[in-house]
Structure 1
């Protein structure tokens, strides 16, 4: 073998070795798995929305840390989340019907209703309560003329219910009453101190205050709009489409986690997790997932007709300036439906 041929063979072997090494190191092999996407989710009330604690039991989650992670972000209500979503600061939001309409019509956002969070006044389940002092002399909505009303955020679910009822009673904001934005935890003290005359108080505080005898229920959201899809999870459509597989995994875990919390056999552990986050004794949350609590669909599939009914009531009462059609353009239930299919398949069920 001549010198030139030996050199050629050595070069060929060297190239082959380089190619082999490249494959071994992954340079020409299947790309490494991408980092999990971060899903930033807005929420405003606990334990109603449950978002900050849903991912606290790793044994329930199949995909967390693999295809996705979650960053819950606290807001005062639904409407402040519109600005954050428009600025690209959150990917999903806890919206009420009016917030959805404002997000589409005012902010020009392409958003989809993707999952249930809480439903109000379904059957015998809880409906949000508006409280006044028992000695206030306020006995019916009409008595609120000239009064101050605490609302967590203009355009939120509770704010919408309040405005719809009062408009139906002939009372108009600024003309007949004054609405003051107050964070939910501060409403009871402000009512008791006479700084506001009425406000919506969330569970478990509302039942405790009524039982104390110092407060009474003036009306509920169910009195205002009937059973409603009170708060639902909404997502930016571009985010859904760009991260479809990861979002599918997220919703499988999201629904699994909610079902775990709702399962009576997990009551003690679930109450402990909620109590730890809320910095309250676990027994304060014994009412959770009973009829004293909001209704939640077992697979978090939102009730779109009840959502539309609340939007229509808001339009009729003047809380929204124009009709707004929710479905089909602003709804995408494919993610929770796929979650349901996966979960039922793992449980050996077909429907």
Structure 2
């Protein structure tokens, strides 16, 4: 029979080894169980102007709760309207939204959500989304767009809604008087220069790139519609938020922290944006977080008054089938800034 040798303390080595192995197995099971218990948020994002999210995706170590008390599964979309469908289908818990996309999701699909933060907007001192035309184009005024082809990023987007409002202000009906072509933001310049569209929508960084090449000028911008336009807010489904408010608070707390970090550490934000957009830092340097960029609230606080104004305008235009109250999308204890 094989002998079992003893350790210095008198414990059989085989028994000690078995105990250590058993302990390691228990520790592994405990870690796996703990990891499984961490709640996960499914979050949609897009480009541009979501620097707070980009920081959370690319610099997660800067957020003590992220990956420890909760996790995020990120999904990239080409615009806000598709994220409404994903939220209605239960595939997303939170996402970035334009006020129009959110409003149409609520009116047409019954989406119930809270606006918890704001990523970007416009002010009198900031960049404003604009539609450009080629130098030498016969289109000199908004009225000249009648019968022409106009580019938008995505059908049904907030930008498309703002276009409708501008056209209406100048006596044109977007559904009857012009033709829309979906180009996406990156493809706007090429669509305009090739003649696919007569007027194209521009946001940064694509606006700066087009201006550097020359031959394009602004025909009108959102500043012609209203001085304070909300472009992108963060929303979370009401059922998720009401069921797990602590989870949403962690997320909004991190969005608040991320916005402050993005604004305070511009050099690092340039690197983060470059990683997300695959644009060189040099291409971002000239505009990102300057007066050539969108306006951002340091605490990511939503401009509810401006959103209500936009809801009212969209209802007048028929883009929303009935009026909406922004208060129905508000829960103060879940709204940025949170510490």
TM-score band w.r.t. shorter chain = 0.7 to 0.9
Secondary structure of 1:185's partner?
coil
User: Which string of whole-angstrom CA distances, capped at 9 and with x for unpartnered residues, describes residues 25-80 of structure 1?
Assistant: 89xxxx96763222222223224565344332134211011122222222232222
- In 2, Cα distance between the equivalents of 1:141 and 1:276? 37
- 2:332 matched to which residue of 1? 333
C-alpha contact (below 8 Å) 1:230/1:307 kept by paired residues: no
Structure 2 partner of 1:274: 273
Structure 2: give runs of 5+ residues left out of the alignment. 1-25, 28-32
Q: Distance in 1 between matches of 2:92 and 2:34?
A: 27
| 1:49 to 1:273, Cα distance in 2 relative to 1, 3 A | closer
Tell me how many residue pairs correspond in the alignment. Answer: 309
Distance change >3 Å, CA 47–CA 112, structure 1 → 2: closer
Tell whether 2:161 aligns with 1:160. yes
Partner Cα distance (1:239, 1:336) in 2: 15
Contact 2:132 2:218 in 1 (8 A): yes
Question: Distance between the aligned counterparts of 1:270 and 1:53, measured in 2?
Answer: 7
Shift, 1:86, TM fit: 0.9
**Pairs within 5 Å for 1:199-214:** 199-214=200-215
**1:300 Cα offset (Å):** 0.7
User: What is the CA RMSD across the aligned residues, in angstroms?
Assistant: 2.2
Match of 1:294 in 2: 294
CA–CA distance in structure 2, aligned partners of residues 125 and 294 of structure 1: 5
Residues 298-317 of structure 1 show CA distances to partners (whole Å, capped at 9, x for unaligned) of: 11110000111111122223
Deviations 1:134-155 (A, max 9, x none): 1222111111111111111223
- Asked if the contact 2:186–2:206 (Cα under 8 Å) also holds between the matched residues in 1, the reply is no
Moved over 6 A (4+): none
Listed as ranges, the matches of 1:91-170 within 5 Å are 91-120=93-122, 122-170=123-171
Specify the alignment match of 2:176 in structure 1.
175
User: Could you tell me which residue of structure 1 aligns to residue 47 of structure 2?
Assistant: 45
Contact 2:149 2:180 in 1 (8 A): yes
- Equivalent in the alignment of 1:320: 320
**In the alignment, what sits opposite 1:82?**
84
Range moving further from structure 2, 314-323 or 44-53: 44-53
Q: 1:241 to 1:34 in 2, by over 3 A?
A: farther
1:92 and 1:201 map into 2 onto residues whose CA distance is 26
Q: What SS does the corresponding residue of 1:249 show, helix, strand or coil?
A: helix
Q: 1:202-224: per-residue Cα shift (whole Å, max 9, x none)?
A: 11221332343310001111212
Report the secondary structure of 2:261's partner residue. Answer: helix
Residues of 2 paired with 1:32 and 1:49: CA distance? 30
Q: With the length of structure 2 as denominator, give the TM-score of the two structures.
A: 0.85
Preserved contact between residue 301 and residue 333 of structure 1 (Cα < 8 Å): no
Structure 1: tracts of 5 or more residues without a match: 1-24, 343-351
Of the three residues 64, 67, 88, the one matched with 1:65 is: 67
Contact kept, 8 Å, 2:311 with 2:324, in 1: the verdict is yes
Shift of 1:240: 1.1
Moved more, 275-284 or 230-239: 275-284
Note closer, same or farther for the CA distance 1:33–1:81 as it changes in structure 2 (3 Å cut).
closer
Name the CA distance, whole Å, in 1 between partners of 2:153 and 2:318: 19
C-alpha distance in 2 between matches for 1:279 and 1:42: 19
